[in-house]
Amino acid sequence: EPEVTQTPSHQVTQMGQEVILRCVPISNHLYFYWYRQILGQKVEFLVSFYNNEISEKSEIFDDQFSVERPDGSNFTLKIRSTKLEDSAMYFCASSELGLYGYTFGSGTRLTVV
Amino acid sequence: KQEVTQIPAALSVPEGENLVLNCSFTDSAIYNLQWFRQDPGKGLTSLLLIQSSQREQTSGRLNASLDKSSGRSTLYIAASQPGDSATYLCAITSGTYKYIFGTGTRLKVLA
């Protein structure tokens, strides 16, 4: 069964550093998403991306965050200057057509020290 | 603003019991509701998807029901097994392509 692949599975970074989290969505999917889950809290929506532009973003997704689809297969989330409170599990998801075939990746655990 | 709540927050049952997990939402204008399973430190595995026009979905020992008018969904697990131990998350969409998640129910099935 097709999967959404995220790398790395765990990343440790120093406060103030830039990080890029990578995702390979399912190949025929057109919609891409990032969510995050702070330890012990709800999974929260960050951003959705379609047709090479952001279609929706949450209040969490401020100027420190950006997303990009640099080529035909990768979808990345960049955090420009990490803070301690950015420590969380970040999930990528993709869907074929809107909500159809919505599939989550296994996540990247980001630890900011 | 849509809020999703799950009760109970944690549940511990002996193997073989049938159990019910509850999910409630504040705005009945939902597009669909999905139940996920999350193992510790892992990703989200989709279990059942109920579209707004449907009342229930079944997969194996799992049955999910949806009552939009009362803002509730239940996930029924029959004959629970230790391998069912995980956190179960309910999530809804309301016309956009994002999910709003509940806080989850942490289930432990004792052998």
pLDDT, one tens digit per residue, over B47-64 is 999 988 999 999 999 999
* pLDDT tier for residue A18 given thresholds of 50, 70 and 90: very high
* pLDDT tier for residue A9 given thresholds of 50, 70 and 90: very high
Residue A106 touches partner B, C-beta closer than 8 Å = yes
Are the Cβ atoms of B43 and A55 closer than 8 angstroms?
Answer: no
Q: What is the pLDDT of residue B107?
A: 98
Are the Cβ atoms of A103 and B103 closer than 8 angstroms?
Answer: no
Which position has the token pair 């830039």?
A18
Mean model confidence pLDDT for chain A: 93
Task: Please say if the pLDDT value at position B71 is more than 90.
Answer: yes
Residue A104 touches partner B, C-beta closer than 8 Å = yes
Which residues make beta-bridge pairs with B63?
B58, B76
- Which residue, A70, A109, A102, A108, is CA-closest to A2? A102
Are the Cβ atoms of A102 and B100 closer than 8 angstroms?
Answer: no
Residue A45 touches partner B, C-beta closer than 8 Å = yes
* pLDDT tier for residue A50 given thresholds of 50, 70 and 90: very high
Task: Please say if the pLDDT value at position A100 is more than 80.
Answer: no
Task: Please say if the pLDDT value at position A1 is more than 90.
Answer: no
Q: What is the pLDDT of residue B72?
A: 96
Q: What is the pLDDT of residue A73?
A: 87
Task: Please say if the pLDDT value at position A99 is more than 80.
Answer: no
Are B5 and B21 in contact by the 8 Å Cβ rule? The answer is no
A48-52, A98-102, B67-71, B92-96: segment of lowest average pLDDT? A98-102
Amino acid present at A38: I
Query: Mean pLDDT over residues B101-111, rounded?
Result: 96
Rounded Cα gap, residues B35 and B61, in angstroms: 14
Rounded Cα gap, residues B79 and A40, in angstroms: 28
Q: What is the pLDDT of residue A96?
A: 86
3-state secondary structure of B22: strand
Q: Give CA separation, B110 vs B9, B14, B16, in Å.
A: 17, 5, 9
Q: What is the pLDDT of residue A17?
A: 98
Residue A42, number of CB atoms within 10 A of its CB: 18
* pLDDT tier for residue B96 given thresholds of 50, 70 and 90: confident
Amino acid present at B38: Q
Q: Looking at per-residue confidence, does B52 or B109 come out higher?
A: B109
Measured over all CA atoms, what is the biggest interatomic distance in chain A, rounded to whole angstroms?
Answer: 38
Query: Mean pLDDT over residues B57-85, rounded?
Result: 97
